[in-house]
Amino acid sequence: MSSAKINAAIDNLKQAGVRITPQRHAILEHLIQSMSHPTADEIYKALEGKFPNMSVATVYNNLRVFKEAGLVKELTYGDSSSRFDCVTTDHYHIICDSCGKIVDFHYPGLDEVESLAESVTGFDVGRHRMEIYGVCPDCKRKH
């Protein structure tokens, strides 16, 4: 299932004129498989064994290339370092106030809010953003 996602993502990149290097392939694969919204640093740590010549800066530059191609979203929450998310499906985030973990969930009903906002205000609605905050099960267990 995730290999189909990876192939689709790679086709998108090729269409955007991005050259697929083994590093880029590995970073993309890690992003799609991890589901954990990793930081550039976490991706670097996961892949440094495979690519000893790679630096955090390389990872970050590649993530920026993916971002420009519209394949990856950079999530900035407060002062913590950016986390990266693969834009494969529309989804929302619930964020732990205690450890900063970000978990995906789906709630299609919010699309209706966009059309409602459009008809009530006359705006052309482009996007919306919603985040839910709380304490994750792991942190709850620790308290």
| Contact set with Zn ion (CB under 5 A) | 85, 96, 98-99, 101, 104, 136, 139
Q: Which is nearer to Zn ion, 57 or 132 (CB)?
A: 132
Nearest to Zn ion of 62, 85 (CB atom): 85
Nearer to Zn ion, 99 or 132 (CB): 99
CB of 50 to Zn ion, least distance (A): 24
Residue type, 143: H
Nearest approach in angstroms of CB 27 to Zn ion is 16
What b-and-e string marks burial along 59-71, b requiring 16 or more CB atoms within 10 Å of the CB?
bbebbebbeebeb
* Comparison of 14 and 128: residue with beta carbon closer to Zn ion: 128
Nearest to 92 by CA among 106, 76, 111, 112: 106
Which amino acid, residue 11? D
Closest CA to 76 of 49, 95, 104, 53: 95
In the complex, what is the shortest distance from the CB of residue 142 to Zn ion, in angstroms, rounded to a whole number? 8
Taking the complex as a whole, how short is the minimal distance between the CB of residue 42 and Zn ion, in angstroms? 14
According to DSSP, the β-strands at 83-86 and 72-75 are antiparallel
